[in-house]
A = this chain, B = another copy of it.
Amino acid sequence: MAADCVPTGIPGVDEILAGKGIPRGHTILVSGGPGSGKTTFAIQFLYIGATQHNESGVYVALDEDPMDIKANMSNYGWDLKKLEEEKKLAFINVSPVRVAPSERGGLIQIGMKEFRLIKLLEAIRQAADDVNAKRLIVDPLTIFTLQYPDEIERIYAMRDLMRDLKKTSCTNLLISELRGTGLEREHQFEEYLAQGVILLRTFMRDSRLIRVFQVEKMRGLAIDNQPRPYEISGNGIEVFSKATVYR
Contacts and interface: CB of A to CB of B under 8 A. Distances in A.
A101 interface: yes
Contacts of A155: 143, 146
Contact of A187 (B34, B110, B156, B246): B34
Given A98-B163, A152-B147, A71 B34 contact: no
B114 A156 contact: no
Interface in A173-204: 177-187, 189, 191-195, 197, 202
A93 interface: no
A2 B74 contact: yes
Nearest to A150: B108
Interface stretch (A7-15, A50-58, A84-92, A221-229): A221-229
Contacts of A72: 2, 219-220
Contact of A71 (B147, B186, B189, B220): B220
A75 interface: yes
Contacts of A182: 183-184
A139 B207 CA distance: 33
A192 B75 contact: no
B75 A2 contact: yes
Given A74-B2, A181-B186, A107 B192 contact: no
* Most central of A142, A178, A179 by chain B CB within 10 Å: A179
A140 interface: yes
A68 B159 CA distance: 14
A244 B96 contact: no
Contacts of A101: 110-111, 114
A238 interface: no
Contact of A209 (B187, B226, B233): B226
Nearest to A96: B156
A104 to B, nearest CB: 7
Contact of A227 (B1, B178, B209): B209
A66 interface: no
15 contacts: A34-B192, A35-B215, A68-B195, A75-B220, A98-B160, A101-B114, A104-B114, A104-B156, A105-B110, A108-B150, A146-B155, A178-B187, A180-B187, A181-B186, A222-B233
